[in-house]
Structure 1
């Protein structure tokens, strides 16, 4: 939330006053923040006793810090302040247990009390974020609050609150608050209590709404007809890779698709946005703790470049993907593919054209907004002039590259696709140029960062004289190596180098330690604990791709599924077993995509085995009204 700079605003970081309990409130007038004191976005992150409070000095940061210092508990991280009104518990830090918290609407007969959180809706004065303040004193005709990021003025001497709001108590006992701004709305207040009398109802969601259902399109004799436009390069490359006009490789499945409820869709949107924020917090935490960073098994020569990437290019993320398991027992995230464009084209373009060809109109296409979201992300990025798109001579990489090219061009950015490295060379000025003599400055790649790391590790082993940080090896007129391009200080790579951290599965135990028992996370440890063994677990290499070298073990210590691969030498993490649901003969995984870190679409991946791999198929996913899942009709 950002406010207009006022003449009497105190400079950023100025102490404004103390709320009850001696909790300091600070100015968040960002226009006056010192570039030397806050040289990077991560400088604004605030931790207390190793617990993330929020961004300095936002309203959410103050509310969470007040709760922690005065009550010993905190509320879960939220993307926007107004979302606090949807929370129904807080986490007690000492006992690592959950305490109930209830929402009471403005006008409730349950009055706010000192320590309640007052919540504003999004919109108006509070733009898209809403606002939160801490209630300090309650009277029949007024309410006093303490807050940050509203006004930025120093509180008068001896006053322990920032503002006073007009209140009205009715004869029926209802408590109504008047907002100071005509264009803003007070939702109500949140109170930690065991008594839910007069609280906003906690919606009981039918667990069936999180169960995928299989459907089949009607066979109208269209299975043998072409439906992708091969005049478009990306679609022609896709048809070539798939050996025909089809979404899935199995002939009998050409008419099959899956549906999921709108309630599940909304939950996936919230989960994706919240999890992205959690993974970013964990990434920052790892980079601030060298001993923890060692567990990620990254070359020491690369660490300065990773930190530099995090400091300078935090907001340069374009594509990323979460992998979820959804069932009537809950929704859990497996991992975050923060360095992957896999399945973007299938979701954004192919499944929509499949549905139109086969006449599937039920619900809505789960990837219908993905292309536009990517175009918007590119438009807001710093990529300018010419973006080189690099990929190997691989059929799948080819259509992914051409699809991304289409999103870039739609954003008004010029592109050039390059296969391999043979056409690149070093020029006399130490820059890498293409066959037309154009210098590479912006690059989108299909290769994972781990591929470059393999090459760097080989170089380190071959040359013990290498010093930190790693630098490309300039040889005029010669073809550069993969690492020379991807780690070149003159070239900005998408996705940024820092994505190595959240994509590494070593981030999962860190997340669990920072946000234990979070409803979207699975318990994950660096060492196999007796607790994990008792409930069954999954072992994964901290660095691995495409479902390789994964082992599923049940509570009886029996291996129920495993895959092979080239990552056997990597350290392992151990994650609680939460199997994918099996629906109509396939184990089904829901993936959500982000564009610039925000939810942008979904897709479905299926496999006869319990582990999704690079060979697992995509199938069309449609979001339908809840009644079409539960069978209840009005």
Structure 2
């Protein structure tokens, strides 16, 4: 694994905009100055052996996570996840029904020398899928057509939707996101996923989640045309859904209205799962020690809110220093994870976002930042696997 510099393509801004990247505030470089969010002036190279090892790690972590969900439900440990008590039986039923799942993103620490370490699992509303599946693939084919890339995301998403199609009522699938996202990222990400579902044969309908209606007489969700919603993909976190009366109607509508990602993923998208994994697999080479609500034996650690996003409300405690980020999260409790700083390449620290689609590893996206925390100032950079 190494970081490589090269000149961007002529007109790269127009190219990536045409491919859908019409959102994103500038990222930050090591000096705090603005840099492009999509930055193709650098990329990472991997050897095929490294990629094969990472693929195996991701599928193993996925299997371990499913076993962890089974244990949490068996032992009824929902309180450790800060989830409302009324939702607990619905989560268990969603798991027992095997409500279908589509995709997720494991965020990993990896330096090419030691096994990959799981930092967190974005299992419910992972983004950067357009960048990983489309933008960096076209970058590769434009500049390195003879090389390879860990990237079968698009094909696997289409294949997965095809497999899910047989488990859903009808062939119509709604797609929703929140119009409160001013950046437009959620809208574009949802539109891309809608495109992959349409390619798999679904009739698709898009609408903001604020426009999802409920017919009180018939007791069902409806769209703007007052047509029933029988299956819907949401790029909207389950913890936000469960926060009000709308969420009660959502979970009570299951399974007549199927919501994707499924309700049982509330357990995997919550950082409490990191502590459960460590309890189940202590010393595992792909895990970092993690504990619920207390650092335990850790003297250097990262305190993460169980439902935090974009690096918010995190505290890093190391040898002789402590730093923290602001935000709105933490009321639900914290997880304490061993501090294992991201590796440094040219003053930047890459976090690997390894994708799972269905139950198969599917690709890699890389975000890098100068600091210890991968936050909303991180840039997305492509990667390749040289063939010579």
For 1:582 and 1:308, the matched residues in 2 are separated by 44
**In the alignment, is the contact (CA less than 8 A) between 1:262 and 1:623 conserved in 2?**
yes
Residue number among 434, 452, 468 corresponding to 2:241 in the alignment: 452
After TM superposition, give the deviation of residue 485 of structure 1 in Å: 4.0
For 1:294 and 1:273, the matched residues in 2 are separated by 28
Q: Which residue of 2 aligns with 1:259?
A: 45
**In the alignment, is the contact (CA less than 8 A) between 1:228 and 1:353 conserved in 2?**
no
Residue number among 144, 149, 153 corresponding to 1:360 in the alignment: 144
Q: Which residue of 1 aligns with 2:55?
A: 269
Q: Does 1:380 align with 2:163?
A: yes
Q: Which residue of 1 aligns with 2:282?
A: 516
For 1:415 and 1:484, the matched residues in 2 are separated by 23
**In the alignment, is the contact (CA less than 8 A) between 2:90 and 2:251 conserved in 1?**
no
TM-score (norm: length of structure 1)? 0.56
Q: Which residue of 2 aligns with 1:370?
A: 153
Q: Kindly tell me: are residues 228 and 285 of structure 1, through their superposed partners in 2, closer, same or farther at Cα, counting changes over 3 Å?
A: same
After TM superposition, give the deviation of residue 224 of structure 1 in Å: 5.8
Residue number among 603, 606, 610 corresponding to 2:365 in the alignment: 603
For 2:25 and 2:122, the matched residues in 1 are separated by 27
SS at match of 2:298: helix
Q: Which residue of 2 aligns with 1:397?
A: 186
Cα deviation, 1:33-91, whole Å, max 9, x if unaligned, reads xxxxxxxxxxxxxxxxxxxxxxxxxxxxxxxxxxxxxxxxxxxxxxxxxxxxxxxxxxx
SS at match of 1:226: helix
Q: Does 1:488 align with 2:277?
A: no
Q: Which residue of 2 aligns with 1:548?
A: 312
Q: Kindly tell me: are residues 549 and 243 of structure 1, through their superposed partners in 2, closer, same or farther at Cα, counting changes over 3 Å?
A: closer
For 2:236 and 2:210, the matched residues in 1 are separated by 12
**In the alignment, is the contact (CA less than 8 A) between 2:57 and 2:286 conserved in 1?**
yes
SS at match of 1:333: strand
1:40-59 correspondence runs (5 A): none
SS at match of 1:313: coil
Q: Which runs of 5+ in 1 are unaligned?
A: 1-211, 457-480, 629-634
For 2:347 and 2:308, the matched residues in 1 are separated by 27
Q: Kindly tell me: are residues 219 and 509 of structure 1, through their superposed partners in 2, closer, same or farther at Cα, counting changes over 3 Å?
A: closer
SS at match of 1:268: helix
For 2:238 and 2:52, the matched residues in 1 are separated by 32
SS at match of 1:286: helix
Q: Kindly tell me: are residues 482 and 364 of structure 1, through their superposed partners in 2, closer, same or farther at Cα, counting changes over 3 Å?
A: same
After TM superposition, give the deviation of residue 527 of structure 1 in Å: 5.0
For 2:12 and 2:268, the matched residues in 1 are separated by 43
Q: Which residue of 2 aligns with 1:498?
A: 264
Residue number among 81, 92, 96 corresponding to 1:311 in the alignment: 96
**In the alignment, is the contact (CA less than 8 A) between 1:452 and 1:486 conserved in 2?**
no
Q: Which has the larger radius of gyration?
A: 1
TM-score (norm: length of structure 2)? 0.89
After TM superposition, give the deviation of residue 258 of structure 1 in Å: 1.3
Q: Which residue of 1 aligns with 2:15?
A: 227
1:345-356 correspondence runs (5 A): 345-356=130-141
**In the alignment, is the contact (CA less than 8 A) between 2:295 and 2:337 conserved in 1?**
no
Residue number among 87, 90, 98 corresponding to 1:302 in the alignment: 87
After TM superposition, give the deviation of residue 219 of structure 1 in Å: 5.5
SS at match of 1:545: coil
1:203-222 correspondence runs (5 A): 212-218=1-7, 222=10
Q: Which residue of 1 aligns with 2:107?
A: 323
Q: Kindly tell me: are residues 494 and 616 of structure 1, through their superposed partners in 2, closer, same or farther at Cα, counting changes over 3 Å?
A: same
SS at match of 1:288: helix
Q: Kindly tell me: are residues 439 and 550 of structure 1, through their superposed partners in 2, closer, same or farther at Cα, counting changes over 3 Å?
A: same
For 1:531 and 1:485, the matched residues in 2 are separated by 41
Q: Kindly tell me: are residues 399 and 219 of structure 1, through their superposed partners in 2, closer, same or farther at Cα, counting changes over 3 Å?
A: closer
Cα deviation, 1:437-487, whole Å, max 9, x if unaligned, reads 31001000110111112335xxxxxxxxxxxxxxxxxxxxxxxx4653465
Q: Which residue of 2 aligns with 1:617?
A: 379
Q: Which residue of 2 aligns with 1:435?
A: 224
After TM superposition, give the deviation of residue 530 of structure 1 in Å: 5.8
For 2:295 and 2:209, the matched residues in 1 are separated by 44
Q: Kindly tell me: are residues 224 and 529 of structure 1, through their superposed partners in 2, closer, same or farther at Cα, counting changes over 3 Å?
A: closer
After TM superposition, give the deviation of residue 243 of structure 1 in Å: 8.0
For 1:500 and 1:441, the matched residues in 2 are separated by 21
Cα deviation, 1:372-425, whole Å, max 9, x if unaligned, reads 101111111123411110112230011101100111011001100102423634
**In the alignment, is the contact (CA less than 8 A) between 1:586 and 1:609 conserved in 2?**
yes
Q: Kindly tell me: are residues 616 and 307 of structure 1, through their superposed partners in 2, closer, same or farther at Cα, counting changes over 3 Å?
A: same
After TM superposition, give the deviation of residue 508 of structure 1 in Å: 1.4
Q: Which runs of 5+ in 2 are unaligned?
A: 27-33
Cα deviation, 1:198-238, whole Å, max 9, x if unaligned, reads xxxxxxxxxxxxxx311233456x146622474xxxx44x3
For 1:225 and 1:422, the matched residues in 2 are separated by 33
Q: Kindly tell me: are residues 438 and 527 of structure 1, through their superposed partners in 2, closer, same or farther at Cα, counting changes over 3 Å?
A: closer
**In the alignment, is the contact (CA less than 8 A) between 2:211 and 2:224 conserved in 1?**
no
After TM superposition, give the deviation of residue 362 of structure 1 in Å: 6.3
SS at match of 1:416: strand
After TM superposition, give the deviation of residue 371 of structure 1 in Å: 0.5
Larger RCO (CA within 8 A; separation ≥ 6): 2
Q: Does 1:412 align with 2:196?
A: no
Residue number among 311, 336, 341 corresponding to 2:121 in the alignment: 336
